[in-house]
Amino acid sequence: MTTSSSTATAGTSGASWVSGVLRVHADLELHGEEIQRRRAANATRPVQDLDTLRFLLTLSVDQPVAIAALGAYERGLTRRAVRFGFAEKRTIAGNCPAVVRTAEPPVTVELVSVLGPLSRRTLQLATTFAPYARRRLVVPSGRVDETLLLEASYYGVGVTVTDDDDERTLVTPAPFQPTRFTGASWLFAERMYAQAFSPANATARESEVEGS
């Protein structure tokens, strides 16, 4: 199983959304080579199908696999991956049809920040992103609960206090050290890519990629 992390990048970007009443922001590293490949193949729509991504992770990039060696369900996923522009059908020796994975994750999620007060609610939300990236809470200045600070440190969640334009780190986020790259990890990256390259952000992101 490959971990699929392109070494070619095109700078950084970000994706923000609201979870309940809390704002969440993800810092992203753009994989320029993969983004350009998708544009050239007209495969700009992110794939948000977990089974397809899991299947693709069983294939090595640019290495053909005979379709005859796949089960019926995998052949269905092959057709889906080809339709999405994440794989190609080719012919190998003996006139044998094969599938070749062409896609990799378009971004790496570097850090997920939950913005709000230092509370058990914000801490619990931050912990849900543990499989995907480093995490931190960005909280307003004021009195902080020492017990919650200890809990944040225990769970590897950083805590940064903001005051106007100033930031102060109380707890440093734990390093992100996953044992393997999963289909769920790829799906999260696709969702962040979709958010960062939404129509509202597309023009700015396009100039970042093309200017790298």
Over the chain (212 residues), the average pLDDT of each successive run of 10 is 38 92 96 93 87 97 96 97 95 92 96 97 97 97 93 98 90 95 97 82 46 46
Distance CA 155, CA 124 (A): 10
Please say whether the beta carbons of 190 and 46 come within 8 A.
yes
Please report the pLDDT score of residue 199 as a whole number: 57
Please report the pLDDT score of residue 93 as a whole number: 85
Sorted by where each begins, the domain ranges of the chain are: 1-43+105-212, 48-102
Distance CA 114, CA 84 (A): 32
Q: Give the 3-state secondary structure of residue 71.
A: coil
